Structure 1
Amino acid sequence: MDMNTEGRTLIKTMGRSIFLAALAVGMSSSLSLAADKMKFTFNWTADDGDLGFVLAKKLGFYEELGIDIEFEEGRGSSITSQLVATGQTDVGYADAPAAMNVASKGANFKIIAPILEGNTSAAISLKESGIETIKDLKGKKVAVCAGCSQTALLDPLLKANGLEQSDMEIISVDGAAFLGLLTEKKVDVVLSDPGSISAPLRDRGIETTAILYRENGIPTVGLSLIAREDKLAANPDLYKRFIEASLKGWDAARRDPDAAADALLEMYPKANSRDASIWTAQNLIIPALCVEGASTLGDVPDANWNITYELLTTYLGLPNTKPITDYYTRDYLPENRPACP
């Protein structure tokens, strides 16, 4: 082979390589551009209740299914539900009873997948206070926050245990003030999630008692994914992919809570400490992912929906003019869901 021929061959080879490289870059860019953007609003500031979502993003599960996900921190389940209802976010994460209450007032959205099949709400006090049952709240100062799911369920919780709000002093404050009010003993009890109160106080060597709603007459469906019906109808495949990626993330989180805690702190450095997140995941969040009778993540048995509906229509004024099935749908659940233990 003469030099001219060899040179031409080399140039052709280099040209093909450059072309293929450019083609690969172009295809990659096209795939990136084709990703569906989604805004996902949490129920509250990022915490251990979001472990599965942040791990799903960290591990690339959303990206693998063609979703460019944006997380937004929330300000309570009722407010998140309103943001979904008004189209200000594509999907929300809200406590089922609070979401149903908003939906009952005409908001056009549905629950599309319960993540915490059992609720994690609790009446939390310092252990030294001696408060061990709901009945012990009588005569106490109880802090609540407007728009929080625990507040929405306060009346049925009290009624299920023979009390009324008039039996105690109810103080409405910003949920961000709960830790200070409790540790400074300005209130006796806060209604919240133990992951937001008990876990960080445990890091400081302060013991608490958490009286779980679900063990005291309020076994309602917990934190769930919600979306507007028009958005669901416009792009059903997108929501199916979103749920699939999310459930995959939660499956990974229950198998490796350490990795989930690391992902949460990497994305949200102001969240609970690593030890607190792991403790909360193991003791509160993971046990709530599957309720008795559930076969997979993301799908609550009909019996639990019926109990939730009965409690809300009896105690919270939820209209009984339409059935519980009007509030949720299984149409967007992926076929292959992670199994319950």
Structure 2
Amino acid sequence: MIPAFLLRALTTSLLTATLCVAAALAPARAQSSDKTFDKVTFGTNWVAEAEHGGFFQAVADGTYKKYGLDVTIVPGGPNENNRMLLIAGKIDFFMAANTLMSFDAVANNVPLVAIAAIFQKDPQVMLTHPDAKVTKIEDLKPLTLFVSKEGMGSYFQWLKSEYGFDENKVKPYTFNPQPFIVNKQSAMQGYVTSEPFAVEKAAGFKPNVLLLADYGFNTYSTLIETRRDIVEKKPDLVQRFVDASMIGWYNYIYRDNSAGNALIKQLNPEMTDDLLAYSVAKMKEHGIVDSGDSLKNGIGAMSDERMASFFDKMVRAGVVKSGIDYRQGYTLRFVNKAVGAELRPKN
């Protein structure tokens, strides 16, 4: 089983709309018409949204073209499987939900490797009512907890091992916030970039938010994965894709992201300007994309120490087996070069 703890961790397929239209939106300055581009296909793990914004930005503003890449992004959905398409050689890169997927690949001898980590902090949160007076993670213990099946197999096991949480307090979370909204003595899982916004819109109150990453759940999130054969045979292509993606993320988070947002809305008509703005603001506020190691080494940064720390926590929680060589699931070869860091605001 591939461990994941959000519906967004469901993977995607080529049956969904692709971004072939992106070339028409890219600036004319990108490259001349006689330039030969390397064609690359990148699959996300959910429908187009701000949490994928840097990749869309790099398509829309011509950054990938500047790096000699003709990138097609394949957005995901709830009944798709892009990760299997990556394994089968049908696409070149995939957006993995979290580090647990890398551990799982090693455990099951799947020849995938993580080459960059876009989110330094996982966006997973627990939401509570203001009346519950929750100020720290231990305050969640007496509450009814709405947790998904995927969450029970991953982050909740960490809550049990690190903080002594009780499964008897858990009720199934079906991605419907209504049970949480009506129960003031409850907490609900979500992403810091979206669920608090949705609850406030639906219920008229601003929920309290506890970001699990701030309490030690130190998985990377939104990683770029590829196959080992691509790393071995096409390292220059991998480096260019990583570098251009990092620049796309700097531009999306810190600069004019209107081109990326226009592409997101084109592919996901349900996406709104206010949600896009909210998501970007929360990514910046909480250091989801740019904090910790990335402040020195650039967006996408990873470290052996961080990987070892999270692996040890998951072993203690019983989520992964101690005997696997988790180091085979990632490489630092293409990151920690501070590519694009000059685009970060100075103040």
TM-score by length of 1: 0.76
Q: Look up the match of 1:199.
A: 197
1-side partners of 2:49 and 2:207: how far apart?
19
Structure 1 residue 40 displacement after superposition:
1.6
Identity, in percent, stands at 18
Superposed counterparts of 1:1-341, under 5 Å: 30-31=34-35, 34-74=36-76, 81-103=83-105, 104-138=107-141, 140-147=143-150, 152-166=154-168, 168-173=169-174, 177-183=175-181, 188-203=186-201, 205-256=204-255, 259=258, 260-271=260-271, 273-285=272-284, 287-294=287-294, 295=296, 296-333=298-335, 335=337, 337-339=339-341
Indicate conservation of the 8 Å contact 1:47/1:195, yes or no. Answer: no
Point out the more displaced range, 79-88 or 245-254. 79-88
Instruction: Provide the C-alpha distance between the structure 1 equivalents of 2:193 and 2:256, rounded to a whole number of angstroms.
Output: 14
Q: Kindly indicate whether the alpha-carbon contact (under 8 Å) linking 2:97 and 2:222 is maintained by their aligned counterparts in 1.
A: yes
Return the structure number with greater helix share: 1
1:199 and 1:276 in contact (8 A); partners too: yes
Distance 1:303 1:140, change over 3 A: same
Query: C-alpha deviations, 1:158-178, integer Å up to 9, x for none?
Result: 332221323x133153xxx33
Q: 1:123 is matched by which residue type in structure 2?
A: M
Q: Give SS of 2:176's match.
A: helix
Aligned partners of 1:82 and 1:99: how far apart in 2? 13
Q: Give, in angstroms, the shift of residue 90 of structure 1.
A: 1.9
DSSP-derived class of the 1:288 partner = coil
CA separation of 1:311/1:256 partners in 2, compared to 1, >3 Å: closer, same or farther?
same
Aligned pair count reads 306
Partner Cα distance (1:282, 1:66) in 2: 31
Tell me how far apart the structure 2 counterparts of residues 253 and 151 of structure 1 sit (CA, whole Å).
33
State the Cα distance separating 1:136 from its structure 2 match: 4.0
Whole-Å separation in 2 of the counterparts to 1:181 and 1:123? 14
Aligned to 2:13: none
* Structure 1 spans left out of the alignment, 5+ residues: 1-26
Amino acid at match of 2:191: D
Secondary structure at 1:318's aligned position in 2?
coil
CA distance in 2, matches of 1:152, 1:70: 31
Distance 1:194 1:151 in 2: 20
Partners of 1:135 and 1:309 in 2: CA distance: 23
Give 1:317 shift. Answer: 3.5
Paired residue secondary structure (1:270): coil
Specify whether residues 229 and 266 from structure 1 end up closer, same or farther in structure 2 by C-alpha distance, changes over 3 A only: same
Deviation at 1:62, TM superposition (A): 1.6
Q: In structure 1, what is the Cα distance between the partners aligned to 2:63 and 2:179?
A: 40
Q: Measured at CA, do residues 192 and 277 of structure 1 come closer, stay the same or move farther in structure 2, by a change above 3 Å?
A: same
Provide, for residues 203-227 of structure 1, a one-character-per-residue CA deviation record: whole Å limited to 9, x for no partner: 5543112211112231222221111
**Superposed displacement of residue 267, structure 1:** 4.2
Gaps (5+ residues) in structure 2? 1-30
C-alpha distance 57-265 of structure 1, shift in aligned 2 (>3 A)? same
Cα 1:247–1:186, aligned 2, differ >3 Å: closer, same or farther? same
Aligned counterparts of 1:257 and 1:178: Cα–Cα separation in 2: 34
Give 3-state SS (helix, strand or coil) of 1:224's partner. strand
State TM-score, norm by structure 2: 0.75
Helix, strand or coil at the partner of 2:208: strand
| Letter in structure 2 aligned against 1:299 | A
Are 2:131 and 2:184, in contact at CA under 8 Å, matched by a contact in 1?
Answer: no
Hey, what's the Cα distance between the residues in 1 that align with 2:161 and 2:265? Answer: 39
1:207 alignment partner AA: K
For 1:151 and 1:187, locate their aligned partners in 2 and report how far apart those are by CA, in whole Å.
Answer: 23
Q: Distance in 2 between matches of 1:143 and 1:111?
A: 30
CA change 1:312–1:334 in 2 (3 A) is closer
Supply the distance in 2 between the matched residues of 1:102 and 1:321 (Cα, whole angstroms): 12
Instruction: Give the letter aligned to residue 72 of structure 1.
Output: V
Retained in 2: the 8 A contact 1:220–1:308?
Answer: yes
1:202 touches 1:276 (CA, 8 Å); kept in 2? Answer: no
Shift of 1:248: 0.6
- Structure 2 distance, partners of 1:245, 1:262, is 19
Q: Residue 240 and residue 334 in structure 1: after superposition, are their counterparts in 2 closer, same or farther (change >3 A)?
A: farther
> Partner residue of 1:13?
none
1:263 to 1:183, Cα distance in 2 relative to 1, 3 A: farther
Counterpart CA distance in 1 for 2:336 and 2:312 is: 28
**Partners in 2 of 1:313 and 1:79 — Cα distance?**
27
Query: SS of the counterpart of 1:211?
Result: strand
Maintained 8 Å contact 1:181/1:187: no
